Amino acid sequence: MEWSSERGFREVHLHTDSQLMAEQLNGNYRVRSDRIKPLFEKVKRALEGSRWTITHHGRDNPWIMLCDSMVNDVLDGAQDPR
């Protein structure tokens, strides 16, 4: 979100495997977790002034599986070797 906001994108299409996050961003569910609230507010600020949509995909979606694999590769490489 920060990357697209910093570059002036005015139309953003979000894709997620988190139905909860999609419902929260759409305003259908409240954000109850004190740990998540600051992140939620940060995303909402980044979306201000943009037209945006968010689409929930199941974990079996090929693109979600690819993204999940890429994130895991990065996280595995960031592990402390100690």
- pTM equals 0.73
Residue 53: phi and psi, rounded to 5, are -135, 155
Cβ burial of 28 (10 Å; 0-12, 13-18, 19+) is: exposed
How many other CB atoms sit within 10 Å of the CB of residue 24?
20
pLDDT of residue 57: 93
Two structure tokens written together for 4 = 């697209």
46-74 residue pLDDT tens:
888 889 999 999 889 998 899 889 989 99
Nearest to 20 by CA among 30, 6, 9: 30
CATH number of this structure's domain 2-77: 3.30.420.10
Say how far apart CA 71 and CA 75 lie, in whole Å: 6
